[in-house]
């Protein structure tokens, strides 16, 4: 019974102050509209843009309290190795680092691309495979192993004309030779908008 009386009181108050009512309804509508737009953008850009299978992905980083304004939230490889060996709640863990690097080959001038360095299990964990060639193997991640690379579709299309014969070719990433072993599907630019 109190609820009905509260609703009646609210409606009477709103009728007595039409200006305040209009401002309150406008503010609510703007707030709801802004939240809907922000959610739509986050959903389209961050959530649907992520190429993962399922929702079981967690992003971990570190924070240095001695440098509170620093933007560096990277994880060292020894920390990652410790986390990986001690974690009991995860199916697996992967590590990546993204930078811009020069890519060159015998056919053209060096060009800067977004390059991600990842652990060999990264694509397996997120349920992705190259469309041609092979994925990284555990042997590729061993110290001293020859450097191998998987091209993104954009670099494969723009630089190599979608030629599948590029597999096995040697390119140079910041002057270090690497063998191309695969090509990812179109629109796959994980992590951090990577081309390679």
pTM score = 0.69
Question: How far is residue 153's CA from residue 162's CA, in Å, rounded to a whole number?
Answer: 8
- Domain boundaries in the chain? 2-47, 95-183
Six-digit token string for 152: 């993104």
Residues with Cβ within 8 Å of 145's Cβ and at least 6 positions away in sequence, in order, are 139
| Nearest-angstrom CA–CA distance, 91 and 56 | 9
**CA-CA distance, 62 to 74, in Å (whole number)?**
6
Token code pair at residue 98: 């993204």
Is residue 123 within 8 A of residue 136, CB to CB? The reply is yes
Q: Of 189, 39, 21, 5, which is closest to residue 114 (Cα–Cα)? A: 189
Contacts of 113 (CB under 8 A, 6+ apart): 100, 101, 103, 155, 195, 196
Q: What is the pLDDT of residue 75?
A: 83
What tokens were used for 125?
Answer: 């964990």
What does the pLDDT profile of the chain (196 residues) look like in tens digits? 688 888 888 888 888 988 988 998 999 999 999 898 888 877 766 655 566 655 677 777 777 776 666 666 678 888 888 998 998 888 889 988 889 999 998 877 889 999 999 999 999 888 889 999 999 999 999 999 999 999 999 999 988 999 999 999 999 999 899 999 999 998 888 877 889 9
Instruction: Using the structure block, give the residue that is written with the tokens 């140079």.
Output: 172
Tell me the CA distances in angstroms from 99 to 129, 172, 187, one per residue in order: 22, 15, 19
């Amino acid at each position: 019974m109190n609820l009905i009386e509260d609703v009646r009181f609210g409606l009477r108050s709103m009728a007595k102050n039409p200006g305040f009512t209009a401002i309150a309804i406008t503010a609510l509508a703007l707030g709801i509209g802004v939240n809907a737009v922000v959610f739509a953008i986050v959903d389209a850009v961050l959530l649907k843009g992520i190429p993962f299978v399922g929702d079981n992905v967690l992003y971990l980083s570190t924070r240095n309290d001695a440098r509170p304004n620093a933007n560096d939230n990277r994880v060292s490889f020894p920390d990652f190795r410790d986390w990986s060996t001690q974690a009991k709640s995860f199916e697996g863990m992967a590590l990546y680092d993204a930078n811009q690097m020069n890519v060159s080959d015998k056919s053209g001038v060096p060009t800067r691309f977004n390059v991600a360095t990842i652990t060999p299990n990264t694509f397996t964990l997120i349920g992705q495979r190259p469309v041609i060639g092979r994925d990284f193997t555990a042997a590729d991640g061993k110290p001293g192993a020859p450097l191998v690379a998987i091209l993104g579709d954009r670099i494969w299309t723009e630089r190599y004309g979608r030629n599948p014969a590029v597999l096995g070719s040697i390119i140079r990433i910041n002057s270090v030779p690497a063998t191309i072993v695969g090509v990812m599907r179109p629109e796959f630019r994980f992590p951090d908008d990577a081309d390679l």
